[in-house]
C-alpha cells in the first residue's frame, strides 16, 4: 500500500464508530480475537471500566471505586521497521491527534520511520548507612574487596529471589560509595522483562540484613532507586518538506519546510539554554510516553522520576531531545535519549486486562522493544508539538479538540456533544467557554422540542 493511501486510511479510522475501529484492528491482525472481545464487551457495558470489581478490590487498600480514562490508539508508528499501533490512556484531548501527526511525518524519514535502541537495563537498589566518621564507608570498601563476602552477597540475593535467577536475571553488580555523612552499597539487578521494583526491594532488604551483621550497625534505608545509568535512544532524519501539512510538493513545500525546520531547531536550542522551556519541552515528550506507559499498566511515576533525573544529570535541567539541521538545512535530525523504567511482565500488568491489549497492539515481546516504542512515541510527540509551535501555534488544534470537553461540561450528552462542539467552533471566537456552550445547548434542545 502506498504511503499516501495508508495516510488516507488512517484519517478514515478516526471517522469510524468505536465498534468499527475495534473490528478494523481485529481484521488487520493488530488485535487478537480475545482482546477485541474484551474491548467490545467493555463497549457494550457502556460506562463500566474493564477491571472486574473483585480484581480492583484486591489491587489496592481501601478501594471504593474505579477510575477510568479513555484509551485511544496512535496508528502507524514505524519503529525499527515495524509498524505499531500504540495504545494511550490520557485525559488531554490533543495528545493522540498530535502523536498521529508526528508518526505520519516520521514515516517519511530517511530510515522509513524511527530507529531506536535500548541499552542493557538493570533495576537498582541502594542500602544506605548513616556514617558521620566515614567508618562504615571503610567497612563497605573492605567488604567489597573480600571475595568470600562478595560471594555471600550474591548467595543472599539468589536465595531472596530465586525465580528471577531462573529467568536468567539476578544481581549483576554491587558497588560501595561514600557520600557526605552516609555510606551506601548499590546493587544492580537484572530483572529481565519486569520493571523490577519488588524484586529490587526484596533483594535489597535481604542484603541489608547481611550487611548490618558485618558492619555492626543498622542501615538507614534499603530501597530501589528510581534512577538509571542507561537510556533508550530514538532518532529520525526527516526531509524538511515532510514537515509541511497537506504534503505540499516541490518548491513551495521545500521553502515552507525549510522555514519550519529552522524554527524547530531554534526551539530545540532555546530548550537547551532555558530550563523553563526545557520543562515544557519535556512535558510534551512525556505526554505521549506517560499515556502509553499508563495504558500498558506501568508505573508512570517511576518513569517520570527517572526521566527528570536524567534531564538534570549535567547539573542543569536539559531537554530530553534535540533537533538539529543536517545536509545544508534539508534534513531535520531528531534524537531523544531517555531512561525508561518499565516492564512487559510483573507489577499490575497481569491484573489489568488493558495491558495485554496495549502490548499486543504495539507488537512488543520484550521490555527493550517496548522501551524502543516508547522512546519513538516521545520523539514524534515532541516533533508534533514543535511543528505546531514553529508554525501556527498550538491553540488552533487544541481548541478544536477541547470544544467537545467544553460541550460535555455544559451538560451536552450523546449526539448533542458533537453538535454543540461544532457550533462552538463555528462561532469563530478564540474564547470557547461553557457559558456559550450552554446557550447553544439550550437552543439546540428548544429546537428539538418544537
Ligand atoms: C502541551 O500539553 C504540550 C506542549 O506545551 C509541549 C511543548 O510546548 O513543547 C505543546
DSSP result, 33-53? HHHHHHHHHHHHTSS--SS-H
H helix or E strand, kind and range, residue 187: strand 182-190
Q: What is the Å distance from ligand 1's center to 372 Cα? A: 22
Query: In the chain, what's the furthest Cα-to-Cα distance?
Result: 89
Ligand 1: which of 97, 276, 287, 322 to mutate, most ligand atoms within 8 Å of CB?
A: 287
Atom 6 of ligand 1 has which residue's CA nearest to it? 284
The atom of ligand 1 lying closest to the CA of 267 is: 9
Nearest CA to ligand 1 atom 1: 284
How many Å apart are CA 180 and CA 163, to the nearest integer? 36
Strand order in the sheet with 182-190: 170-179, 182-190, 123-130, 221-225
Nearest atom in ligand 1 to the alpha carbon of residue 394 is 10
Segment holding 366, helix H or strand E: none
Between CA 150 and CA 297 the distance in angstroms is 36
d(C-alpha 228, C-alpha 339), whole Å = 6
Tell me how far CA of residue 106 lies from CA of 75, 109, 235, 337, 378, in angstroms. Answer: 12, 5, 10, 17, 12
DSSP state of 91: S
| Nearest residue to 298 via CA among 330, 342, 244, 251 | 342
H or E, element range at 396: helix 395-409
The pLDDT tens digits along the chain (450 residues) read 444 454 455 558 988 988 999 999 999 999 999 999 988 988 887 555 567 777 888 888 888 877 888 999 999 999 999 999 999 999 998 999 999 999 999 999 999 999 999 999 999 999 999 999 999 999 999 999 999 999 999 999 999 999 999 999 999 999 999 999 999 999 999 999 999 999 999 999 999 999 999 999 999 999 999 999 999 999 999 999 999 976 555 666 679 999 999 999 999 999 999 999 999 999 999 999 999 999 999 999 999 999 999 999 999 999 999 999 999 999 999 999 999 999 999 988 888 889 999 999 999 989 999 999 999 999 999 999 999 999 978 777 777 778 888 888 888 888 888 888 888 888 867 778 888 889 999 999 998 887
Q: Which atom of ligand 1 is nearest to the CA of 98?
A: 10
Please tell me the distance between residue 286's alpha carbon and the centre of ligand 1 in angstroms.
Answer: 10
Sequence-ordered alpha helix ranges (H) in 234-352: 250-273, 275-295, 300-311
Catalytic residue among 92, 212, 274, 337: 92
| CA quadruple 294, 296, 302, 307: dihedral, nearest 10 | -80
- Nearest CA, atom 2, ligand 1: 284
Amino acid at each position: 500500500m502506498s504511503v499516501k493511501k495508508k495516510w488516507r486510511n488512517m484519517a478514515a479510522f478516526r471517522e469510524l464508530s468505536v465498534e468499527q475501529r475495534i473490528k478494523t484492528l481485529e481484521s488487520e491482525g493488530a488485535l487478537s480475537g480475545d482482546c477485541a472481545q474484551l474491548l467490545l464487551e467493555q463497549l457494550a457495558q457502556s460506562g463500566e471500566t474493564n477491571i472486574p470489581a473483585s480484581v480492583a478490590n484486591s489491587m489496592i487498600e481501601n478501594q471504593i471505586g474505579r477510575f477510568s480514562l479513555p484509551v485511544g490508539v496512535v496508528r502507524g508508528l514505524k519503529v525499527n521497521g515495524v509498524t505499531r499501533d500504540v495504545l494511550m490512556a490520557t485525559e488531554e484531548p490533543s495528545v493522540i491527534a498530535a502523536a498521529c501527526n508526528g508518526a505520519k511525518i516520521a514515516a517519511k524519514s530517511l530510515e522509513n520511520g524511527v530507529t531506536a535502541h535500548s541499552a542493557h537495563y538493570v533495576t537498582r537498589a541502594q542500602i544506605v548507612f548513616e556514617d558521620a566518621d566515614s567508618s562504615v564507608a571503610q567497612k563497605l570498601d573492605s567488604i567489597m574487596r573480600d571475595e568470600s563476602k562478595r560471594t555471600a552477597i550474591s548467595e543472599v540475593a539468589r536465595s531472596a529471589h530465586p525465580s528471577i535467577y531462573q529467568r536468567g536475571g539476578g544481581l549483576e553488580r554491587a558497588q560501595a560509595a561514600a557520600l557526605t555523612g552516609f555510606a551506601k552499597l548499590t546493587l544492580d539487578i537484572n530483572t529481565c522483562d519486569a520493571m523490577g521494583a519488588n524484586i529490587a526491594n526484596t533483594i535489597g532488604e535481604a542484603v541489608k540484613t547481611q550487611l548490618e551483621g558485618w558492619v555492626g550497625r543498622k542501615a538507614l534505608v534499603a530501597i530501589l532507586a528510581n534512577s538509571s545509568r542507561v537510556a533508550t535512544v530514538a532518532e529520525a532524519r526527516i526531509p524538511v518538506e515532510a514537515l509541511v501539512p497537506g504534503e505540499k510538493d516541490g518548491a513551495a513545500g521545500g521553502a515552507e519546510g525549510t522555514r519550519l525546520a529552522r524554527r524547530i531547531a531554534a526551539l530545540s536550542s532555546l530548550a537547551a539554554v532555558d530550563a523553563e522551556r526545557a520543562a515544557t519541552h519535556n512535558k510534551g515528550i512525556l505526554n505521549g510516553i506517560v499515556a502509553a506507559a499508563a495504558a500498558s499498566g506501568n508505573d508512570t511515576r517511576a518513569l517520570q522520576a527517572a526521566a527528570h533525573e536524567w534531564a538534570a544529570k549535567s547539573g542543569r535541567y536539559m531537554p530530553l531531545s534535540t533537533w538539529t539541521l543536517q545536509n545544508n538545512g534539508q534534513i531535520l535530525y531528531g534524537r531523544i535519549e531517555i531512561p525508561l523504567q518499565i516492564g512487559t511482565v510483573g507489577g499490575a500488568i497481569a491484573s489489568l486486562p488493558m495491558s495485554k491489549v496495549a502490548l499486543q497492539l504495539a507488537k512488543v515481546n520484550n521490555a527493550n522493544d517496548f522501551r524502543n516504542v516508547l522512546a519513538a512515541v516521545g520523539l514524534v510527540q515532541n516533533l508534533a508539538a514543535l511543528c505546531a509551535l514553529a508554525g501556527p501555534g498550538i491553540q488552533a488544534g487544541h481548541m478544536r479538540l477541547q470544544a467537545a470537553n467544553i460541550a460535555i461540561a455544559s451538560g451536552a450528552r450523546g449526539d448533542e456533544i458533537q453538535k454543540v462542539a461544532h457550533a462552538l467552533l463555528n462561532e469563530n471566537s478564540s474564547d470557547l467557554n461553557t457559558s456559550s456552550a450552554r446557550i447553544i445547548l439550550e437552543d439546540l434542545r428548544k429546537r428539538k422540542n418544537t
